[in-house]
Amino acid sequence: MRPFDYVAPNTVDEAVAILAENGPGARLLAGGTDYVVDLKHSSKAPKIVVDISRISEFSRIEMTDQGLRIGSGVTHTEIMDSALIAKHAPAMQEAALTIGAVQTRNLGTLGGNLVTCVPSLDSGPVLIALDAAVTIAGPQGKRTMTLADFFVGPRKTALEPAELLTDIVIPKAMLGRGCSFRKFGLRNGQALALVNVAASINLEKAKLSDVRIALGAVAPTVIRAIKAENLLNGKAPSDDLFTEAAEMAATEAKPINDFRASASYRLDLIRAGAKRVLAEALERAQA
Ligand SMILES: Cc1cc2nc3c(=O)[nH]c(=O)nc-3n(C[C@H](O)[C@H](O)[C@H](O)COP(=O)(O)OP(=O)(O)OC[C@H]3O[C@@H](n4cnc5c(N)ncnc54)[C@H](O)[C@@H]3O)c2cc1C
């Protein structure tokens, strides 16, 4: 590893000032599960590594007027242990449990996961299915956007130079909804997703409304299966309807063939996974 400077600010403002002062040579470090691997293998050293793990507001999970706010520095283990998340967005815990092994979950953060913006990231689908928003801090102050807009492309987010992700908010209206997550890998633990899928369901007079289906690892970023959602909205739920919607969801994905799985196998996984998460989200919505 090549030498670099290291700094650990205590506040967001300090972190932003350091990023602005050092330009592209400054790199953020949260849990380090991704970035330290990069650092070891990269031929180019950063000028300065900015460790944001000491910024206390990044590790809070709290209910606000806007909804459930989760700091970007909250680890996957903290998500699994949070009573607030268990009560209001338990599908997030299902997703967190599938990330790496205990050691990765203890260090890896929600913010780090979202900023890596790889197509297979496991925190994305549930948060997209729950219409989460993100807050970004930078030299011009704070701005918010939907997580769907934050994901721009593979390994590319909407973050501008000297900006960082401060928190993720699940809007109040989405809390407590029926929501479910499934991940398919080559094995049950320590596997990257071949496909991951989440759905959230609202029921109005026993009809489906505002259904959201999010698919990961089958397109450049997490996508919503909008045609499948439209097929479901306004209808009474049934097994046949969910089969039809899952078929349609598969037509909306663009999976790749690679050494881990063929595109056609991934399409099968979408069909199976989408049907399963819809059925489970419905059960939870009815409960
Ligand atoms: C063995 C292993 C298994 C893994 N398994 C999975 C898995 O199953 N599923 C999965 O989704 N991921 C997996 N990962 C990837 C990784 O662990 C997660 O993405 C993790 O959540 C990253 O968080 P971190 O805090 O460690 O990020 P870091 O490594 O600290 O940072 C990652 C990137 O995000 C940037 N960054 C971090 N925080 C912020 C912020 N607040 N604002 C702006 N930029 C920021 C950093 O500069 C860096 O570029 C695995 C990694 C390893 C090593």
Query: pLDDT of 245-274, one tens digit each?
Result: 999 999 999 999 999 999 999 999 999 999
CA distance 54 to 73: 9
- State residue 190's pLDDT score: 87
Q: Which of the four CATH numbers 3.30.413.10, 3.30.465.10, 3.20.20.70, 3.40.50.1010 does domain 57-174 have? A: 3.30.465.10
Atom of ligand 1 at shortest range from CA of 33? 26
CA distance 134 to 193: 23
Burial of 271 (0-12, 13-18, 19+ CB in 10 A): middle
- Residues 69 and 86: beta-carbon distance below 8 Å: no
CA distance 166 to 270: 32
- Centre of ligand 1 from the C-alpha of residue 104, in Å: 9
- Centre of ligand 1 from the C-alpha of residue 260, in Å: 21
Residue nearest to atom 49 of ligand 1 (CA): 35
- Centre of ligand 1 from the C-alpha of residue 135, in Å: 18
Residue nearest to atom 39 of ligand 1 (CA): 112
pTM: 0.97
Residue ranges per domain, the chain?
5-51, 57-174, 178-286
Ligand 1-lining residues (CB < 6 angstroms): 27-35, 37, 52, 72, 99-100, 104, 107-109, 111-113, 115-116, 121-122, 159, 164-165, 192
Output the CA–CA distances (angstroms, integers) from residue 83 to 68, 123, 187, in the order listed: 12, 18, 29
- State residue 280's pLDDT score: 98
- Centre of ligand 1 from the C-alpha of residue 218, in Å: 20
- State residue 45's pLDDT score: 86
CA angle (208 as vertex; 207, 211 as ends), nearest 5? 170
CA distance 74 to 218: 27
Same CATH fold assignment for domains 5-51 and 178-286: no
Q: 178-286 has which fold?
A: Enolase-like; domain 1 (3.30.390)
- Decide if domain 5-51 falls under CATH 3.30.43.10: yes
Residue-by-residue pLDDT tens, the chain, 287 positions: 678 999 999 999 999 999 999 999 999 999 999 999 988 888 788 999 999 999 999 999 999 999 999 999 999 999 999 999 999 999 999 999 999 999 999 999 999 999 999 999 999 999 999 999 999 999 999 999 999 999 999 999 999 999 999 999 999 999 989 999 999 999 988 899 999 999 999 999 999 999 999 999 999 999 999 999 999 999 999 999 999 999 999 999 999 999 999 999 999 999 999 999 999 999 999 99
Atom of ligand 1 at shortest range from CA of 30? 30
Q: Among 22, 34, 69, which is best to mutate for testing ligand 1, by the most ligand atoms less than 8 A from CB?
A: 34
Atom of ligand 1 at shortest range from CA of 192? 8
Atom of ligand 1 at shortest range from CA of 115? 34
Query: pLDDT of 158-173, one tens digit each?
Result: 999 999 999 999 999 9
Residues sharing a CB contact under 8 Å with residue 230, sequence separation 6 or more, in sequence order: none
